[in-house]
Amino acid sequence: MQAAAKPTGGGAEVRSRRRSRGGLEEAVVEVLSKAKRPMTTAEVREALGGDLAYTTVMTVLARLHGKSAVTRQAEGRGYAYAAIRDPAERTARRMQHLLAGDADSATVLTRFVDNLSPADEATLRALLEVDRPSAP
């Protein structure tokens, strides 16, 4: 007669199946990037394999929207989400989100500019000299 396997607490096994920090967000953005149209939470969940809780996927989508990493539009009683396709737009939105999240944005901008290459600094100066319409 074989002895029953001793439980290990399950923690190590469960953790090994989990995605890395940020891995789920990356997977969701990848699913949305490959989609031909905006997707609902249920569609994203199914595309990820269907093993995640609906609320988990909904939370990730809401966080990505809050970080300006995806867009959303009303669909039925919920939302349909889409990836921002232009990499430069995604990066610009992430930068805006990070800057808005810091109480001392002037210091953050100062340090950012201090670390720019001469070419990037020249580009930034040229962009700042262009007349732009005022934000509403």
Q: What is the pLDDT of residues 54-78, one digit of tens each?
A: 999 999 999 999 988 899 999 999 9
Spell out, as residue ranges, where the chain has pLDDT lower than 50.
Answer: 4-16
Q: What six digits make up the tokens of 127? A: 């962009």
Q: What six digits make up the tokens of 76? A: 């039925």
Angstrom distance (rounded) from CA 72 to CA 33: 13
Angstrom distance (rounded) from CA 81 to CA 59: 12
Domain covering 17-83, topology = Arc Repressor Mutant, subunit A (1.10.10)
What are the extents of the domains in the chain?
17-83, 87-129
Alpha-carbon Rg of the chain, whole angstroms? 21
Residue 13: strand, helix, or coil: helix
Q: What is the pTM of this model?
A: 0.61
Q: From 16, 48, 46, select the one nearest 29 (Cα to Cα).
A: 48
